[in-house]
Amino acid sequence: MQSENNTSAPTTPRLRHRRRSNEAIPDATKANGSHLLVHDRNKYKSFLVRAYSTVWMIAGFVLIVYMGHLYITAMVVVIQIFMARELFNLLRKAHEERDLPGFRMLNWHFFFTAMLFVYGRILSQRLVNTVTSDKFLYQFVSSLIKYHMVICYFLYISGFVWFILTLKKKMYKYQFSQYAWTHMILIVVFAQSSFTVASIFEGIFWFLLPASLIVINDIAAYIFGFFFGRTPLIKLSPKKTWEGFIGASVATITSAFVLANIMGRFQWLTCPRKDLATGWLHCDPGPLFKPESFPLPGWLPWKEITILPVQWHALCLGLFASIIAPFGGFFASGFKRAFKIKVQSQ
């Protein structure tokens, strides 16, 4: 009887579907085709837009550098704030946070606590040197610096207690994931910016030269890839080519050697800043910035060449920028693809 029921009932085969990946996979035909490389007719419009924006960005950057160390630091802080805001919103779920009033403010509480901790350690002595002329301000600032670690620790603990008090049933997983995500953002943002700000006050040269090499590498890679690019470099960014990578490396290393000689002759760029003032700087250049003469062969029209010792260091910086800068872009591309920020290939 049981076998009859089994035979009489219609059987429908179950269809098994593969679960598709959430990552946006670039089209393989576009990666090696002529549409994205040398024969792309729409690339000239993009080239003009990028060239126009690049000119304005470089002009603004030069103006900030001319204004001095404090303004460059302010620029870094503003960039950090915008970066943190984008990262905070990356995993944000609006429908979840409707039931958590004030939870977003907790992220910024940790952010500004980390900012006070990092920059307080770097700029404390320079702040003291700035207010030495006023007795009241000097005592006030000295007291803040004395209890700097205690203040930062208290602010962090208050944020921790704040987080515990905001925990709600059925939302624990989301809240703890946001707590961990916030701390990861703080590590990523402030770990590198602390070295950047410290380098600025040791001499704008040590900030401006590496930053310029990154910009030159990016621009050169785009130009060489635009005119000569035929061989894709990596599937993660199909528009990146080996021709652009090699051409940008040569341009970056050469620029590093030349720019170090030019920048190293200006005291405004090489002198360290011991306070937070904006006045002009005068100092005795260190041995890295004192020119050395080297004789040339007699068949050349020049008898000798003058080189700053820092130019040999700049070659290492140029080589480092040539290799690491593109991979920083690849990391950003993969990060955006993982979170579906960028759909089109870059």
| pLDDT confidence tier of residue 31, bands split at 50, 70 and 90 | very low
Q: Would strands 292-295 and 304-307 be described as parallel, antiparallel, or unpaired? A: antiparallel
What does the pLDDT average to over 37-61?
A: 76
Which segment, 23-32, 89-98, 122-131, is predicted with the most confidence on average? 122-131
Q: What percentage of the chain carries pLDDT values higher than 90?
A: 40
Task: Compare 51 and 3 and report the one with higher pLDDT.
Answer: 51
| CA–CA distance, 179 with 113 (Å, rounded to integer) | 15
**Which residues make Cβ contacts (< 8 Å) with residue 95, sequence separation at least 6?**
none
Between the two ends of the chain, the Cα-to-Cα distance in Å is 65
Task: Answer whether residue 298 shows pLDDT above 60.
Answer: yes
Residue 296: the pLDDT is: 83
Give the pLDDT score at 95: 65
- Mean pLDDT in residue range 92-120: 84
Q: Which residue has the tokens 């500004």?
A: 112
Position 312 scores a pLDDT of: 94
Sketch the domain layout of the chain as residue ranges.
67-202, 204-329
Instruction: Give the lowest-confidence range in 132-136, 160-164, 208-212.
Output: 132-136
Task: Categorize the per-residue pLDDT at 30 as very low, low, confident or very high, splitting at 50, 70 and 90.
Answer: very low
pLDDT of residue 342: 52
Q: At 39, is the pLDDT very low, low, confident or very high (cuts 50, 70, 90)?
A: low
| Distance (Å) of CA 5 to CA 9, 11, 14 | 6, 11, 20
Average pLDDT over residues 113-118: 94
How far is the C-alpha of 158 from the C-alpha of 161, rounded, in Å? 5
Q: How confident is the model at residue 41 (pLDDT cuts 50, 70, 90)?
A: low
- pLDDT for 192: 82
Residues in the chain: 346
The arithmetic mean of pLDDT across residues 239-246, rounded, is 87
Q: What's residue 29's pLDDT? A: 44
Predicted pLDDT of residue 94 = 64
Average pLDDT over the chain, rounded to an integer: 83
Give the pLDDT band of residue 53 (cuts 50, 70, 90): confident
Instruction: Give the whole-angstrom CA distance, residue 71 versus residue 84.
Output: 20
Residue 140 has pLDDT above 90, yes or no: no
Q: What's the mean pLDDT in 304-327?
A: 91
What pLDDT sits at residue 300? Answer: 80
What is the mean pLDDT of the segment spanning 302-314?
91
pLDDT digits (tens, 9 = 90+) for 329-338: 787 777 777 7
Confidence of residue 28 (pLDDT cuts 50, 70, 90): very low
What's the pLDDT score for residue 344?
Answer: 44
Looking at residue 266, what is its pLDDT? 92
